[in-house]
Amino acid sequence: MVSTGRVRPRHDRGLGRDFRSLWFGSGVSNMGDGLRIAALPLHAVSLTDSPFEVAAVTTAQFVPWLVFAPVGGAVVDRSRRRETIMWTQGWRALVMLLLGIAVLADAAALWHLYVVGALTTVGEILVDPAVGAMVPALVDHDDLEAANSRILGTEIVTNEFAGGPLGSAAYTLAPWLPFVGDALTYGASILWFRRLPRVPAYRPEVASRLRTEIADGARWLWRHDFLGKLAVVMGIANFGAVASMALLVLLVTDVLAGSDIAFGMILAVGAVGAFIGAATATRLAVRIGRRTVLVGALLAEAIVMFFVAAAPSIPALALLWLLMAIPTGLWMPVSRALQQRITPNHLLGRVNTTTRVLTRGSMVFGSLAMGALATVTNVRLAIVTGAAIDLAAGVMLWLLLRGRDIEPPVKAAA
């Protein structure tokens, strides 16, 4: 039997002290991410009125998933995950500090936003899979949904609910402030991550090159009779769904003539919906089944997205953004726990990043395509097109999961 590497301390309370360190460090880091997510498109709008160039800010943040993710996944699997997280958070803090200084000096150009967006994503490729791969080592497999719900729920609250409004308000006060704030949170998160146990790095029985290990992870995923097909379906879904994300700032500030603060509040309202979804995902998955949750969430997201495209006012958009975010919150912890249960722990980093090469890589092309479509037509039509693609992916997911048992095995009574 392969060891899971679980290192939970004795006398655990809840999910354990080590998990809490992982959870709090992730939360602090994501608070800063929320500042940046709000501030980057706002600064882009201040530099250009081209929908394509604004959407390219989103594109830049997903490009590294195409070119670096396979290497990043292998690095995560063969390195000490605690140390990888800490070093990455350190250099991300430096990158954001330099951008803040450039904005303060009124020297930041569009290409600076693209470069910083790409670099912070390189860090995400290392940190997020490392955090996800550590969860099964810190909690029992029966607690995976609960652990993922806590991490993702906190990510939603800090990243969007708190970070979005704070980022837009800070940007209004001083454009450099949210970028420096992001740098500080990266640094602060290290204080929590350094408390994690020093789990030894995985060492294969036979020495192999990094390229071989990358290929092993990709090969395992594509040969799996379920996870590979699921990654393809989610890539199609993300190609369409990214339209609303990439063009939201223009829908708010241009089409509906809203303010920078309104944009931040829309992000916050969406975070409330996503948090509701993540907080109820575990209970709902047990009650109605994981297949129903996954298919229902994707179809619901797509349907509401059609109405988002037609929103007549800022209050109506806020309500619709809330409703669209709930199924997104439901989807994340259930799908992540499913991957963690199925994938061997020593492959989790590579399988996670290989999956994201497709799901995030599709967002690169989706954001470019929808930005170009919005440029030649309009923002609303581009979002409608994205919703139609998302809906088609929901139907594909239903066909993939029909008749398939994805429920975890029930433990026998002691």
Rounded to whole angstroms, the Cα distance separating 40 from 85 reads: 24
Every domain of the chain and the residues it spans: 17-193+204-401
The whole-number pLDDT of residue 378 equals 94
What does the CA dihedral 286, 292, 295, 297 come to, rounded to 10 degrees? -60
Is the model's pLDDT at 152 over the cut of 80?
no
The whole-number pLDDT of residue 319 equals 96
Give me the percent of the chain exceeding a pLDDT of 70.
90
Rounded to whole angstroms, the Cα distance separating 268 from 322 reads: 9
What DSSP designation does 408 have? Answer: P
Pick from 7-16, 266-275, 378-387: least confident: 7-16
- Pinpoint the alpha helices (H) of 48-109: 51-62, 64-67, 69-78, 81-104
Higher local confidence (pLDDT), 265 or 190: 190
Which single residue is written with the structure tokens 């997911």? 397
- Please say whether the beta carbons of 112 and 40 come within 8 A: no
Give me the percent of the chain exceeding a pLDDT of 90.
34
Q: What is the pTM of this model?
A: 0.69
What would be the CATH architecture of the domain defined by 17-193+204-401? Up-down Bundle (1.20)
Q: What share of the chain is helix, strand, coil (3-state, %, to 5)?
A: 80, 0, 20
Query: pLDDT tens-digit profile of 289-321?
Result: 889 999 999 999 999 999 999 999 999 999 999
The closest of 154, 127, 151 to 139, measured between CA atoms, is 151
Query: CB neighbours of 131 closer than 8 A, spacing ≥ 6?
Result: 22, 26, 85, 151
DSSP string, 287-322: HH-HHHHHHHHHHHHHHHHHHHHT--SHHHHHHHHH
Q: What is the mean pLDDT of residues 104-114?
A: 93
Return mean pLDDT, the chain. Answer: 84
Rounded to whole angstroms, the Cα distance separating 307 from 414 reads: 51
